[in-house]
Structure 1
Amino acid sequence: MTTQSTEARAGPGWRQAALFAGLFLALYAALAALAEVRVGRGAEESAFQKLLAARGAQADWIVLGASHALPLAYGDVPGRLAEQTGARMLVLAELGAGPVYARFVARQALRDVRPARLLYVLDPFAFQAREWNAGRVEDRTLLRTTPLRISTARLMAGMVAREGVDPRALADYLAGFSKLNPPRRFATDGWQGAAAFDRVARPSRHAVQSRIDYLYPEGSGPAQADPALEAFAALIDEAQAAGVEVVAVRLPLPEHFRDALPASTTVLDAARRIMAAREVPFHDLSAELDDPALYFDTDHLNRTGVERLYVEHLRAILTAAPQ
């Protein structure tokens, strides 16, 4: 009798706990779905948001890289190219995106927009820190604007299994945690992006050194670059296997900034060997536009700079006959 009474008293408690857990999960699922619609899919700003919006429509060009590629979007290079040639371009660069993250984006792009050509904006700094590679896959500010999709989840799961991405990033992505809970803003070293695009920067030795310290958080030794170089080679191999022509470019930097950069010969030479072995054209334009008036901060082209870049260099690269 005592045992039966205990079980009778325990029964409602377990049922209440199960009911509470069920209600909590249902509420969380509803909120996560709402956040997915409003945050994950509510704009076309991140690379993965752009790909979702463009899914099914073939792109003639996709552009990958870090922040130096973003002014191409601010200056509407895709619009200029479309007007002059009819070619469709998607700028899929992301702030601080090294080759590991770029490969992540490229693999999704191969599924979604079947690009004919790929322009990779090469930056030596992006090869030399985990923060710019696997760290960007894990970063909550990017997870927040990465739409939840089975194909993307599979790609991320593969990166967890084989490329050292933290499993917690995959759990966050699947659960929608960062979409429900805004993360602290990714450290951007004062980056203002499109809001500053029409400005003209004044050269500052302090600003240059601060920027370089930010770009090289782990120093500039070549040892840190191995995972990124492997990802860079794999990105090219996968694109070429899908019939995509790959072209690489290093965009201009003002002389005072270029001269202050740590030596990156070893990393750049390794990247050159990877490209040469795969017959990837590489256009080093880093010394082409030295005038500080062409930049809106220490190292990003402003509107006038992008206009000159396009007219003097980029248009010829983008409109050259496929090899």
Structure 2
Amino acid sequence: MTDLKPLDGEALLARLPLSGIRGKVTPNAGMDKITWFRTGGLAEVLFQPADEEDLIRFLKVLPEDVPLAVVGIGSNLLVRDGGIAGVVLRLPVKGFGEVQVVDGQTLLAGAGASDKSIAGAALEAGIAGFHFYHGIPGSLGGALRMNGSANGVETAARVVEVRALDRRGNRHTLSLADMGFSYRHCGVPDDLIFVSALLRGEKGDREDIRKAMDEVQDHRETVQPIREKTGGSTFRNPEGTSAWKVIDAAGCRGLQVGGAQMSPMHCNFMINTGDASAYDLELLGETVRRRVLDNSGICLHWEIRRIGRFLPGRVVVPAEEAERS
């Protein structure tokens, strides 16, 4: 890691054939402005397409040797301090955030639409079954990629079909079966970029829907540190128990590394108390994983997505590797 090549967004920008591209292209973009942790390194180039056609045009001319990473609104994302080489693609609300009512039970939503906006559109249309999205602080693209769920309802229960683009800009339509959903996971290759989805609920009473959404919000405000700089749930629930229970049993509630802390309020939430680096946050997470493994034999799996490069001398070793060494 000592010979880590510095990112050079201007040099990469010069390589990209951007004639006719209408979206926003930013070299050396600060990912700390995007992620909810408010920390992390630069994106060598950040691209925010104007719309789907603009994205297709960009993908068709993007050199194959340039890495491409797709991010959402940054609510469940940790960008390492060394930044992200290549192009980071972010689908903006303008162009990818529209939610259309197709009929009395069905919505067509762009992948850049926030989960809350989908819940709100369903409420206005009198479509029940989307109240759980009111409690997920992310976008539809992320919910599709990780089968986002809350209050006992999964994204998989609402998907009819998903529309996606591959790295070459070709369109694909995926059925529910094609998505390969399981707990906090979908089976679609990482190089497919979700652009929209057809979602189905059922006809409902607006007052009942509003009540269900209020209950979701009340629950979040009561048990989660939603006003902190956090990435939401840090680890997936192990089979047969909850992540917070095994974290608590291992004595990790309130555990702190640098400016990173496991929330005293909900110990499966990792928070930036003010000046945490991405290294602090990831090191804290792996420390928790190691202590839980030692205490209960349970290997926790990250729910927060971690991308980018470590800085030299600040590499975080996964708990499993630390156990073997």
Task: Give the TM-score normalised by structure 2.
Answer: 0.26
Which protein is bigger by CA-based radius of gyration? 1
Which structure has the higher relative contact order (CA within 8 Å, separation 6+)? 1
Task: Give the TM-score normalised by structure 1.
Answer: 0.26
Q: Which has the higher strand share?
A: 2
Q: Which has the higher helix share?
A: 1
